[in-house]
Chains A and B, each alone.
Chain A
Amino acid sequence: MSKQGAARKEMPPAKLSEARAIAGGKTLPALDRLIHERMRLGIVSSLAANRSLTFNELKKLLKTTDGNLSVHARKLEEANYVACTKSFQGRMPKTEYRLTETGRRALEKYLNHMEALIQAMREL
């Protein structure tokens, strides 16, 4: 499936949290597709290890392009997973991101989900 196709299928996190998926006879919370995508998972994971990171630091860390990073960062911002502040450092614009409490909880939930999935598969 193309990236665009995957993006179209994304559901709002609130709706996703209510949904349920069955795996190995156990009920697991539905996968948060918003951070399941690799680039967004990378952004959230990087921000979880830092108080804040600038756009350029994230770009370097995730080895991506300006366009790709800004598209995915905006999606996370819209879901209130990350907060973005824009300022000027001298004459240069500076965009800084930090993980919100909602984003941190979403990552924790995603980690729990992955661990539960592995556990459920082992029990099959």
Chain B
Amino acid sequence: MASVRPIRAVPPETVALHTRAMDNLRFIRETMERAGAFTAVPGWGGVVMGVSALAATVIAARQSNRGAWLETWLIEGIFAIALGLWAMKRKADSAQLPLLSAPGRRFVLSFAPPLLVGALLTVVLFQAGLSQAIPGTWLLLYGTGVVTGGAFSVRVVPLMGMCFMLVGAVALFCPFSWGTPLLGLGFGGLHVVFGIIIARRYGG
């Protein structure tokens, strides 16, 4: 019985060339995305976040009650997150990489869960009257986010996360009066120092 055959069969090497070309394009894109992880964390943005945290430290230290102290840091937190996202977008745009490319997405997805846990724990700890545990919890969870989010990035990013975790661990066992200076040291000092290192070595 006669079988239906295409008039012009596609030669096997044609398929191979096509597949190879697609494979090469995929390789280039994936390599650029992986390499983009080196530039995903904004350096100068981190410095500005650090300066704003130092300002928040001064303001928070002047607050007489813990509610006002918490409000100061919450405002600073929202401002810093917005600033960080804007700085990441700006850096991604300058490198001509979309923000939601694989490295940016990977960083945000690894970074967001510890921040959400931090927000929930803040409510629980404040309501339970355990405010002295809040600075340590924030620093530890922020550090965790930086370590996991920066796991595939340059060594300086997870190192910064570990420093946050170290300051957080100290803060967890310190009285509440130490909390504000330690938050200033972490969110202020570490952001400024590592921000300058990242900006100088990894372009902005």
Contact = CB atoms under 8 A, between A and B. Distances in A.
A48 B31 CA distance: 10
A50 B28 contact: no
A83 interface: no
B130 interface: no
A1 B118 CA distance: 56
B24 A61 contact: no
A115 interface: yes
Given A45-B31, A49-B97, A121 B24 contact: no
Contacts, number: 73
A114 B21 contact: yes
B41 to A, nearest CB: 13
A121 B38 contact: no
A111 B10 contact: no
Given A23-B17, A117-B18, A51 B203 contact: yes
B39 interface: yes
Contacts of A111: 25, 28
Contact of A50 (B18, B24, B25, B203): B203
B14 A50 contact: no
Interface in A16-46: 23, 36, 38, 41-42, 45-46
Interface string B172-188: 00000000000000000
A41 B27 contact: yes
Contact of B27 (A38, A53, A57, A115): A38
Contacts of B14: 121, 124
5 contacts: A46-B35, A48-B35, A50-B39, A117-B17, A122-B18
